[in-house]
Chain A
């Protein structure tokens, strides 16, 4: 892949970033088409997602050392904070042992009572909070060094 990319690392990074933006917009367009028409775009979205992930790996390799360090530190500390935020959800559940209605009344208000939706929500909450933590940590780290 490096053979078909520009020799300059900065130009490679910019090219890959622009391709990722284009694919991201393509995925958004496919999602809009899927919601507004009867055309099935799921396989196209999956293919674009795979291409996006491949480009993300290639783009990471073009980052310079400071940008890579920002990613490492943000993934470690930011995602750790995200994991810690789970405690804000788990502690009320743990301390509501003698008042089970508390969980249903307070926490379940934001969750669909359907078991599958509840399961998926629980499964996605942790990585979502980790990504939020990463993004915030990375933004602060990067903006302070710009």
Chain B
């Protein structure tokens, strides 16, 4: 799973800790999601989408979909 979390966070000048507080998760979890080491559950993905006011598809994409788009 690929995601644009790092880019979206940088656009808003949020630190990982800021985003972690908004999502009610640990900073380590935000880092793991950003680096693709952990795929969030569907409820957390919806929460992330809500925080950025985007849809899940605008933030996350399957590995194959992302490669095909490139």
A/B pair count, beta carbons within 8 Å: 38
Nearest Cβ distance between residue B17 and chain A, in whole angstroms? 9
**Are A145 and B32 closer than 8 Å at their CB atoms?**
yes
> Which size bracket describes the interface of B in this complex?
10 to 19
Contact A9 B44 (CB under 8 A): no
Known: A65-B40, A65-B41, A65-B44. A146 touches B24 (CB 8 A): no
Q: Chain B residues with Cβ under 8 A from A13's Cβ?
A: 26
Most chain B CB within a 10 A radius of its CB, from A13, A64, A142: A64
Question: How far, in whole Å, are A65 and B32 apart by their CA atoms in the complex?
Answer: 12
Contact with A along B32-62 (1 / 0, CB 8 A): 1000011011001000000000000000000
Q: In the bound complex, how far is the Cα of B20 from the Cα of A41, in angstroms?
A: 42
Residue from A9, A66, A67 having most chain B Cβ neighbours under 10 A: A66
User: How distant is the Cα of A145 from the Cα of B25 in the complex, in angstroms?
Assistant: 14
Specify the chain B residue showing the minimal Cβ separation from A9. Answer: B24
List of A residues within 8 angstroms of B24 by Cβ: 8-10, 64
Interface residues of B (CB under 8 A from A): 20-21, 24-26, 28-29, 31-32, 37-38, 40-41, 44
